[in-house]
Structure 1
Amino acid sequence: MSKNINPNSNKPKYNPWLLYGSVVVIVLVINFLSNGSSFGDSKQLSLSKFYQYLDSSYVEKVEFNRTVAKIYLTEDALKNSEFENLQKKSILGKESTGPQFLTDIGNSEIFQKKLDEASSQGKLTEYKSEPESNWGDIFFSMLPIIIIIGFWLFMMRRMTGGGAGGGGSQIFSIGKSKAKLFDEKNDVKVTFKDVAGLEGAKEEIVEIVEFLKNPEKYTSIGGKIPKGALLVGPPGTGKTLLAKAVAGEAKVPFFSLSGSDFVEMFVGVGASRVRDLFKQAKEKSPAIIFIDEIDAVGRARGKSNFSGSNDERENTLNQLLTEMDGFGSHTNVIVLAATNRAEILDKALLRAGRFDRQIYVDLPDVKEREQIFEVHLRSIKKVDNLDIDFLAKQTPGFSGADIANVCNEAALTAARKDKKQVDMQDFLDAVDRIIGGLEKKNKIITPEEKYAIAIHEAGHATVSWMLEHAAPLVKVTIVPRGQSLGAAWYLPAERSIVRTEQMLDEMCATMGGRAAEKIIFDKISTGALSDLEKVAKQAKAMVTIYGLNDKIGNVTYYDSSGQNEYNFAKPYSEETARTIDIEISSLIEGQYERAQQILEANREKLIKLADLLCEKEVIFKQDLEIIFGKRPFDKEEEPITTE
């Protein structure tokens, strides 16, 4: 199998310390190996003292210009104790040849005359006049300044985007867009074939891509390119994956970034990045811009702004609105955006002409989950007879990201057991682990607690078995998982609408655990916390959201726009609030009593089921059929025919 080799992978990585080290080494080499520039350790000598050394025949050679003279002593003079600290030193194996002293010559005519006299008397071997300055002196005198200027230029280059850190994170390019550009030169492997399900969303996205590829097909009959499309849906449903597929399919430049990339602590930076982003896109038009998590910058203006001022985020949003559909914004640039909080977005952002289309990406149904499993199972070594349809039915409510996690977790589970292929049990274990958490078989539980947990879970199983609209049971376990001490797995029906009796049956089955404890032990425990939380949410939704309560009537206090989130007052009176509290409590207590009645009528079977749970720890639907018989409500659905 061929491997994808990156040609740049073997190139050495840039390291700024190599530059610093090279400069130091070059300076040292020049300093140590240059004969004319090795006088850094020369001592300053007064002119009168120099004349004394000259008269004493200590001076061998003098090199001078108009201002400074270099004094070289004789070999005999260096042996004198007065000059023992001036002995020639060996540096890196090379003897130092620099002058021992430097002196200011004062009047050049008098200095020249003194040298002539000493030379004629044999007290001076050699002397010569040098130019005003040599290149070595100039270089070493200017070297500190050169190094400082070079270092400054290097840092400026890095801060303006020329360094390894990239321009987007540097102070001088802080107003530049952080968008990542994808084009035909980039290796984008995700295509529409990798996006399973989501047929409606894909159809609209494919049309946008086709418009950019072949605009004449639409413009020839008067159509106009849509300005933008907003992908809305729960987390993990494939919104970003769709955008990646667009990048892989479109033959036009694709700019990708997150809404938080516009946010910065400096004033005006967000608006500047928006301008720069659209400037780049217009230069490469036709192009696509994808803004993930646009709610970070597109939140409705005026919300949570207690200061009363126009903050930086609003300036960024205003600039985005102008660029998308402002005066003179007629360019072939399409904006794709994704969010799971569309209700908090600004109304001006959602209007036609900016985001012309809102594409809802919902949780996949059973057929779409089967297609998603097939996509993620391509890279997994699985057994030949794996029932993908069964897996799709065992994962109701799972998003595409959840299914990808199930496949990966199943492969890890199989590898942990030293298997060569992933089988059905590995997938079921993966589903259990994702839903309930990791098994804790070594958790210390007393026999009394174990039996109480068995009674609790058996209560859930018994009540759900006896109710028509309760979700069918799959298995029950008293093995601790995650934060729970036991669990019952159900397979809820995938309904488009839910009726009152269906919600009441679900609430009754949820209260079956606490009701069983009350029936058997005449005591209750804290083990029903999650059950009470679930039932309270369901009862509150029935009363305040769905209008399923006779006392409150056909009224809902749900606000889809999210405006009530920032209101301190409730949308109903104190009297209505008391009625709501009473009705919620009445609903819960009514289903609790109903569960007790069902369990009293099946007390012996409840105890038998709890004993079986204590013995096996995990029981399945077949075990309940042995105890309770066939569930009368499990009927095969007949096909619907129309005349």
Structure 2
Amino acid sequence: MPKGPKMPRFNLNWLYAIIIVILAYFFFTGGGNIGKQSSTEASYSDFKQFVSHGYASKVVVNKSESSLKMYVKAEHVRQVFHTGAKQVGVNPYVNVNFGSVDQVEKFLDAQQAQKHFNGNLEYEVSHNGFLDILLSLAPTIFFIAIWIFIIRRMSGGFGGGGSAGGSSIFNVGKSKAQEYGKDNSHDITFKDVAGQEGAKQEVQEIVEFLKNPKKYTDLGGKIPKGALLVGPPGTGKTLLAKAVAGEAGVPFFSMSGSDFVEMFVGVGASRVRDLFNKAKAKAPSIIFIDEIDAVGRARSNHPGMGGNDERENTLNALLTEMDGFGTNSGVIILAATNRVDMLDKALLRAGRFDREIHVELPDLNERKAIFKVHLRPVKIDKDLDIELLARQTPGFSGADIANVCNEAALIAARADKKAVTQQDFLAAVDRIIGGLEKKTKVMTADEKKAIAYHEAGHATISWFCQYANPLVKVTIVPRGRALGAAWYLPEERQITTKEAMLDEICALLGGRAAEDVFLGRISTGAMNDLERSTKAAYSMVAYAGMSDALPNLCYYNQDQYSFTKPYSDTTARLIDEEVQKMISEQYVRAKKLLEKYSEGHNALAQLLIDREVIFAEDVERIFGKRQWASRSEELLSSDDETKTADISVSVPEGNPQADDVITDTTPKDA
């Protein structure tokens, strides 16, 4: 049988619309009149005239409104309404406002005596019960409507995407965790996580335990309750968690630490309990809390010093759920943070987080593997040397390397290339570290000369200091906020010596010393150099115990709530004196080296003025081969491409920080 027309589905909003229309009708018609009636307005003088002429059939007075209705006889309709009786309908009347009821009554009595009015005088009370009730309830109805509107608007803002059954303001205490399972898991697996082999092995073991727990329980082992991923930003902590979600094959609840924080009191603790209840119901399962320092920050020992009770209540609820009287059998907690020093000690103890997995910056081989992962979707040139790129990016995190690959692709596309070449990648590294080149920036000849002598001073000092990082490139082309920069290839060493740190300070001061020796004046160009060298000297004296006057002492205070220095004023004065002495000695040393090799320095500065960019081979041509060839220099010299390519080397700290001053990108030591 052919189907009939599709009828629209009933919607409750239709009923609301009908009710509103009916109410509006009653409101605007004063309760409504069933019969068809006509009325007109008239003045009190006209009313008196109509009555005296005998037009009125009856008069109805409304005292509360000081008005009356004069009903007109059928035979006199035309005199009053100037139309026929059929057009005005049944019982037409005239509305009249009056001043005094007594005057109306006296007037009608007189007209009755004169036989002009023989109708009835009636009185009515004006009221519309339904309308009166509606008007009295109008404020309440208005606020209820506003409340319903707010609830509907807020329904998408509370409760989170992972909770079932919709959400509203009444679900504000529900967890916002997103749940991933077999049906909606991430496509990311451990194959997409390059480097970090140690961290990957740790989390892989957790996944294997969930898949095959009998292998471990037969030997008496217990499933770890929690693992904390710790490391600098961009090293892949969240990526590891996504890989766990893709590999585990069990329910995975993902949530950020900030999702527990809300303006309502008690919401954070409620969300913690709801999250763990959901995870327990689907055990074995995994809970991942990203940026846990937002909720797990150490509780204050001074509650009167601005402590946040709501945050501490949320933390207490988290501590209880992770390891309290209740049982969390089959629930593993993964968390990530780059500020582990701020976390509460009770949160870090065994039984809550049994493992602390360090996700550090990748080394040379790990960077090579990370490049291979991020180069998969990029159309690269067949001659691209990935090993060289890995050498050019010490201190880069996985996120930085991903940014390099993307930036290189954009640079190649801008030049209408069919593939991304090695030169594009080297330009991308330059762009990320130093910023965009500003070749159009106007500089005077004196400024250009000062910058050239400054950067040549850095290059000269680093060439003749044994432990200074090997030089790769020097440029006086403005880039970002820096007017010039010297690029180095830092050694990837785990510890550093006093001699190495002093050589680095000396190299930092080389720019200011060159201005002083060869130009006879100093400028603000060394501001960034002075800042970094001063910080390095203070860390040597106050933290590393490398001072002659304060040997083997460390004044580092990890207590973030301490308001006192861990040393006396006398010691503070001694620290200042030692730092000043150390800086002065290295500055004098830099000046002596520059005076000794003044001829080579001046040639180097003139070459910079002429070419704007020089490389390590140019410095070697002037000063001869460097006496202390490092492993990094040997790696660079082993590749013929490094002699001609526009080489740029990364700095662990990132972009130079300077305001319209000459800077260099000499890295700090850890």
Aligned to 1:489, the other structure's residue is in SS state strand
SS of the residue 1:566 aligns to: coil
Counterpart position of 2:573: 578
Task: Determine helix, strand or coil for the equivalent of 1:289.
Answer: strand
Matched, 1:468 2:460: no
Counterparts of 1:233 and 1:78, CA distance in 2: 97
Please give the alpha-carbon distance, in whole angstroms, between the structure 1 residues aligned to 2:391 and 2:380: 19
Contact 2:177 2:253 in 1 (8 A): yes
Residue by residue over 1:42-75, the C-alpha shift from the partner in whole angstroms, topping out at 9 and shown as x without a partner, is: 6699xxxxxx9xxx9x9xxxxxxxxxxxxxx9x9
Q: 1-side partners of 2:149 and 2:197: how far apart?
A: 49
Give the deviation of 1:290 after TM superposition. 0.8
Q: Relative to 1, partners in 2 of residues 1:628 and 1:284: Cα closer, same or farther, differing over 3 Å?
A: same
What's the CA shift for 1:502?
1.0
Q: What is the aligned partner in structure 2 of residue 540 from structure 1?
A: 538
Tell me whether 1:177 sits opposite 2:169 in the alignment: no
How is 1:139-154 mapped onto 2 (pairs within 5 angstroms)?
none
Compared with structure 1, are the counterparts of its residues 449 and 42 closer, same or farther at alpha carbon in structure 2 (3 Å cutoff)?
A: farther
Deviations, residues 74-114 of structure 1 (Å, cap 9, x unaligned): x999989628799999xxxxxxx99999xxxxxxxxxxxxx
- Pairing 1:494-573 to 2, within 5 Å after superposition: 494-559=492-557, 562-563=558-559, 565-573=560-568
In the alignment, structure 1 residue 159 sits paired with structure 2 residue 158: no
Which residue does 1:238 correspond to in 2? 236
Amino acid at match of 1:298: G
Is the contact between residue 243 and residue 290 of structure 1 (CA under 8 Å) also seen in structure 2?
Answer: yes
Once residues 478 and 632 of structure 1 are traced to their aligned partners in structure 2, the CA distance between those partners, rounded to angstroms, is 26
Find the partner of 1:596 among 573, 591, 600. 591
1:522-576 C-alpha deviation (Å, 9 max, x unpaired): 21111001101110111111111111222111111123xx30x322221011121
> Kindly tell me: are residues 87 and 581 of structure 1, through their superposed partners in 2, closer, same or farther at Cα, counting changes over 3 Å?
farther
SS in 1 for 2:294: helix
| Contact 1:459/1:516 (8 A) holds in 2 | yes
The letter for the 2-side match of 1:609 is L
Shift of 1:220: 2.0
Secondary structure in 2 matching 1:167: coil
Distance verdict in 2 for CA 1:160–1:286, change over 3 Å: farther
Counterpart CA distance in 1 for 2:479 and 2:141 is 64
Larger RCO, structures 1/2 (Cα 8 Å, 6+ apart): 2
Distance 1:269 1:591, change over 3 A: same
TM-score, normalising length from structure 2? 0.74
Match of 1:343 among 341, 344, 351: 341
1: CA distance, partners of 2:364 / 2:75: 104
TM-score (norm 1): 0.77
Q: CA deviation at 1:483?
A: 1.4
Matches within 5 A, 1:412-427: 412-427=410-425
Rounded to whole Å, the distance in 1 between the matches of 2:511 and 2:260 is: 50
Given that residues 39 and 98 in structure 1 are in contact (C-alpha distance below 8 angstroms), is that contact kept between their aligned partners in structure 2?
no
Contact 2:155/2:168 (8 A) holds in 1: no
1: CA distance, partners of 2:608 / 2:86: 98
SS state at 2:151 partner: helix
Tell me, what secondary structure is at the counterpart of 2:356? strand
Aligned twin of 2:255: 257
**C-alpha spacing 1:245/1:420, structure 2 compared with 1 (3 Å):** same
Cα deviation, 1:18-53, whole Å, max 9, x if unaligned, reads 997996599779999xxxx996996699xxxxxx9x
Q: Look up the equivalent residue of 2:605 and give its one-letter code.
A: A
Who is 2:350 aligned against? 352
Matched-pair identity in %: 59
Give 5+ residue unaligned stretches, structure 1: 1-17, 46-51, 59-72, 90-96, 102-137
Q: d(CA) in 1 for partners of 2:273 and 2:262?
A: 15
Letter in structure 2 aligned against 1:506: E
> Which residue of the partner structure matches residue 622 of structure 2?
627
- The aligned counterpart of 2:200 is 202
Counterpart CA distance in 1 for 2:217 and 2:86 is 92
Contact 1:455 1:517 in 2 (8 A): yes
Aligned to 1:455: 453
Distance verdict in 2 for CA 1:610–1:151, change over 3 Å: same
Give the letter aligned to residue 259 of structure 1.
G
Letter in 1 for 2:151: M
Q: Distance in 2 between matches of 1:85 and 1:274?
A: 81
Residues 265, 166 of structure 1: alpha-carbon distance in 2 compared, 3 angstrom cutoff: closer
- Distance in 1 between residues matched to 2:86 and 2:608, nearest whole Å: 98
After TM superposition, give the deviation of residue 635 of structure 1 in Å: 5.5
Is the Cα–Cα contact under 8 Å of residues 322 and 328 in structure 2 kept in the other structure?
Answer: no
What are the ranges of 5 or more consecutive residues in structure 2 without an aligned counterpart?
A: 1-10, 26-30, 40-50, 58-71, 94-129, 161-166, 636-670
Mapped partners of 1:162, 1:308: distance in 2? 31
Q: Which amino acid aligns with 2:353?
A: F
Asked if the contact 2:37–2:90 (Cα under 8 Å) also holds between the matched residues in 1, the reply is no
Q: How many residues align?
A: 555
CA distance in 1, matches of 2:315, 2:508: 46
CA distance in 2, matches of 1:584, 1:566: 27
CA–CA separation in structure 1 for the residues paired with 2:541 and 2:344: 30
Query: In 2, distance between residues paired with 1:553 and 1:635?
Result: 30
Quote the Cα distance in structure 1 between the aligned partners of 2:310 and 2:530.
43
SS of the residue corresponding to residue 513 of structure 2 reads: helix
What one-letter code is carried by the residue in structure 2 that aligns with 1:219? Answer: T
CA change 1:175–1:370 in 2 (3 A) is same
Conserved in 2, the CA contact under 8 Å of 1:436 and 1:481?
A: yes
TM-aligned CA deviation for residue 508 of structure 1: 0.9
Question: Counterpart of 2:531 in structure 1: which amino acid?
Answer: E
- Tell me, what secondary structure is at the counterpart of 1:380? coil
Question: For 1:162 and 1:98, how far apart are their aligned partners in 2?
Answer: 55
What is residue 224 of structure 1 aligned with on the other side?
Answer: 222
2:116 equivalent in structure 1: none
Contact (CA 8 Å) 1:218, 1:224: kept in 2 or not?
Answer: yes
One-letter amino acid of the structure 1 residue matched with residue 328 of structure 2: H
Q: Which amino acid aligns with 1:181?
A: E
Aligned equivalents of 2:86, 2:532: Cα separation in 1 = 93
Q: Identify the residue that residue 398 of structure 2 maps to in structure 1.
A: 400
Distance 1:370 1:26, change over 3 A: farther
State the 1:187 CA deviation. 4.9
Kindly tell me: are residues 44 and 187 of structure 1, through their superposed partners in 2, closer, same or farther at Cα, counting changes over 3 Å?
A: farther
Distance (Å, rounded) in 1 between the aligned partners of 2:223 and 2:232: 27
